[in-house]
Amino acid sequence: MTQIRLCTVIAILGVLAIAAPSFAQSDAYGKPDACQVVLKETAKPNHWAVEINFTNDEAVFGLIFPLIISSSKGELSYDSTSFAGSRVDSFAVKIPYEDTSWTAKEASLRINLGMIGSISPSPIELHPGSGLIARHYISGAKDVTTESISVDTTFIGPSNRLLATMYDPDKGSIKPTFTFERAGGTKK
């Protein structure tokens, strides 16, 4: 009996050792890239801006930011997304998508933001740098507070996870680090 348990434990550890690196942040082309999400209150009560910032040290062609936004104090609603003043103003494709099948069942939001630099033969890329990518605007029930809202990256099927891709297909993809903070408040 203990030999079976030992074999099972070894098998599980082996699977985890093989799978774990695929979930970790990776960037074979320089310093780790980073996605920082900052929650900010707006002038209107029970309305917030979820700012997505990105730091990269190599040019990237495509970006995916799947986020789950939740509150422990009530329901949230997705209002809109703005790219005004962002680093991706010149990108050809910028699609924010709210997963309404999820939102209808949960008190949280799942919003997937996908972007491609260009759809023509000449690439438009996000050059190395740091700054704003987009702002999602959300609102909440009257009991929702800034402290009750949290944002994290998530997986949205069929294959959307936090990712940056380069124009050269031989270079592959980059998995950025992720941080969340409330403006003037706590980091997570």
The full set of domain ranges for the chain reads 27-182
Do residues 64 and 126 make contact, with C-beta atoms less than 8 angstroms apart?
no
CATH fold group of domain 27-182: Immunoglobulin-like (2.60.40)
Scan for tokens 């409330």, then name that residue.
182
**What mean pLDDT is predicted for residues 159-180?**
90
How high is the pLDDT of residue 20? 36
Q: Is the pLDDT of residue 121 over 60?
A: yes
Residue 17 in tokens: 């050792």
pLDDT above 50: residue 6: no
Give the chain's end-to-end CA distance (angstroms, integer): 43
**CA 72 distance to own-chain centroid:** 20
Partners of residue 137 on adjacent β-strands: 49, 80
User: What is residue 8's DSSP assignment?
Assistant: H
Q: What is the pTM for the complete model shown?
A: 0.81
Backbone angles phi, psi at 5, to 5 degrees: -65, -45
Evaluate if residue 111 carries a pLDDT over 80. Answer: yes
Write the DSSP symbol of residue 158: T
- Name the residue with higher pLDDT: 130 or 121: 130
Residue 111: burial class (beta carbons within 10 Å; 0-12, 13-18, 19+): buried
* Lowest-confidence region among 10-19, 43-52, 105-114, 119-128: 10-19
Mean pLDDT along residues 51-59? 96
Q: How many CB atoms lie within 10 A of CB 105?
A: 8
> How many H-runs (helices) and E-runs (strands) does the chain carry?
2, 11
Q: Per-residue pLDDT for 12 more than 70?
A: no
